[in-house]
């Protein structure tokens, strides 16, 4: 009798305890962390500028807003200049200045180039993959907010990273899409089609540089008239083209994001400020922030960390290799256009690093 009661008590205790323990354990280790991850990290890092933001800068108050920003920034800048010798600028001051600069530039670009939202969903897929693993590659990933925006005809075939913002030209997206289609159709990168695509890219790039390609702000994204591959892709090739496209764009985004998380713009800015404080620089030098030319060393570093991010996020190295091979094709058509912009190493040099480091990342 007592044994039976004891057994029932024990059974009650066991059934009462085990599920509640299991529940606590489950909550603690799975759903809680996961939802935290999605809501906090999933949306905070590698964000895109949202529509509200874009529209804000495309409206008629744009000039007024820009002037306001310019004045605000200039005041801040003059203040710093005046008191530079009296106090050491702290980090938050510098962050503030650089955030102003980022905002100012995005405003100015958005005033003349309509923001291209066509790739938002596609870029979100890549960003989410990065957001899930970014903390394993960059120690500051969770504390640093980075954003991207796509605009047509703003840089040519290029993506540029500033302090916290990545600006991608629609031309890069459109050309890479066709590069991927060509790769899927022909089964290789170097083909007459790729060269034809490269020639048209250079043509458009030059038109963007000399201002003859005018962007209508009424959402006219399809202004590039790029060559099409000669036939239709079969379903397998179609799938492959989509995959290649994602891998190429992921490589671009990983490289530019690495400049941000490695704080390359900030380091460059600090060096310039130091020069200027020592009387060796000038205002112009500091304002060249907009045309940041990173050193080759910084480019290799961004490639390396970009590769780490890609590998962690489940991408292959092929996207980056295709991007660099196409860069060399552009280079061979145009001379030095690609390098002149950013002082990047050649595609072949960069591919060499990819292949040398990939297995040990």
Q: How many residues bind Zn ion (CB under 5 A)?
A: 2
Distances (CA, A) of 141 to 124, 164, 249, 263: 17, 12, 20, 11
Phi, psi angle pair for 165, to nearest 5°: -120, 140
Task: Give least dist CB 306 to Zn ion, A.
Answer: 9
Task: Give least dist CB 302 to Zn ion, A.
Answer: 5
Task: Give least dist CB 323 to Zn ion, A.
Answer: 11
Task: Give least dist CB 108 to Zn ion, A.
Answer: 21
Contacts of 76 (CB under 8 A, 6+ apart): 96, 97, 100
Closer residue to Zn ion in complex, CB, 247/344: 344
Whose CA is closest to 149, among 193, 186, 115?
A: 115
Closer residue to Zn ion in complex, CB, 185/323: 323
Closer residue to Zn ion in complex, CB, 173/181: 173
Site string for Zn ion, 287-316 (x = CB under 5 A): ------------x--x--------------
Strand order in the sheet with 165-169: 47-48, 147-151, 165-169, 159-161
Contacts of 210 (CB under 8 A, 6+ apart): none
Rounded to 10°, the helix 51-58/62-83 angle is 90
For residue 190, the SS3 value is coil
Task: Give least dist CB 257 to Zn ion, A.
Answer: 10
Closer residue to Zn ion in complex, CB, 14/348: 348
Closer residue to Zn ion in complex, CB, 116/299: 299
Residues that bind Zn ion (CB under 5 A): 299, 302
């Amino acid at each position: 009798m007592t044994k039976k009661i004891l057994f029932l008590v024990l059974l009650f205790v066991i059934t009462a305890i085990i599920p509640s323990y299991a529940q606590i354990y489950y909550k603690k280790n799975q759903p809680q962390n996961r939802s935290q991850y999605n809501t906090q990290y999933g949306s905070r890092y590698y964000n895109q500028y949202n529509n509200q933001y874009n529209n804000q800068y495309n409206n008629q108050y744009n000039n007024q807003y820009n002037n306001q920003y310019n004045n605000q920034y200039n005041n801040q800048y003059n203040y710093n200049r005046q008191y530079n010798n009296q106090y050491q600028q702290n980090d938050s001051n510098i962050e503030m200045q650089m955030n102003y600069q980022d905002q100012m530039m995005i405003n100015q670009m958005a005033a003349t180039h309509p923001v291209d939202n066509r790739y938002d969903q596609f870029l979100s897929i890549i960003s989410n993959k990065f957001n899930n693993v970014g903390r394993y590659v960059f120690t500051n990933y969770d504390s640093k907010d980075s954003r991207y925006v796509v605009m047509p005809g703003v840089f040519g075939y290029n993506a540029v990273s500033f302090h916290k913002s990545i600006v991608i030209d629609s031309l890069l997206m459109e050309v890479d899409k066709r590069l991927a289609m060509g790769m899927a159709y022909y089964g290789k990168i170097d083909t007459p089609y790729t060269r034809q695509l490269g020639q048209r890219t250079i043509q458009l790039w030059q038109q963007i540089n000399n201002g003859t390609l005018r962007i209508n702000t009424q959402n006219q994204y399809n202004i590039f008239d790029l060559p099409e591959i000669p036939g239709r892709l079969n379903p397998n090739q179609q799938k492959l083209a989509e995959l290649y496209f994602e891998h190429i764009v992921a490589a671009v985004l990983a490289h530019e994001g690495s400049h941000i998380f490695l704080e390359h713009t900030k380091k460059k800015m600090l060096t310039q400020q130091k020069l200027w404080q020592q009387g060796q620089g000038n205002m112009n030098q500091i304002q060249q922030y907009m045309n940041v030319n990173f050193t080759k060393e910084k480019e290799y570093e961004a490639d390396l960390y970009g590769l780490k991010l890609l590998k962690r996020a489940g991408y292959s190295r092929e996207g980056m290799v295709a991007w660099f091979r196409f860069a060399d094709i552009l280079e061979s058509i145009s001379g030095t256009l690609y390098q002149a912009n950013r002082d990047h190493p050649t595609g072949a040099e960069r591919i060499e690093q990819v292949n040398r480091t990939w297995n040990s990342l």
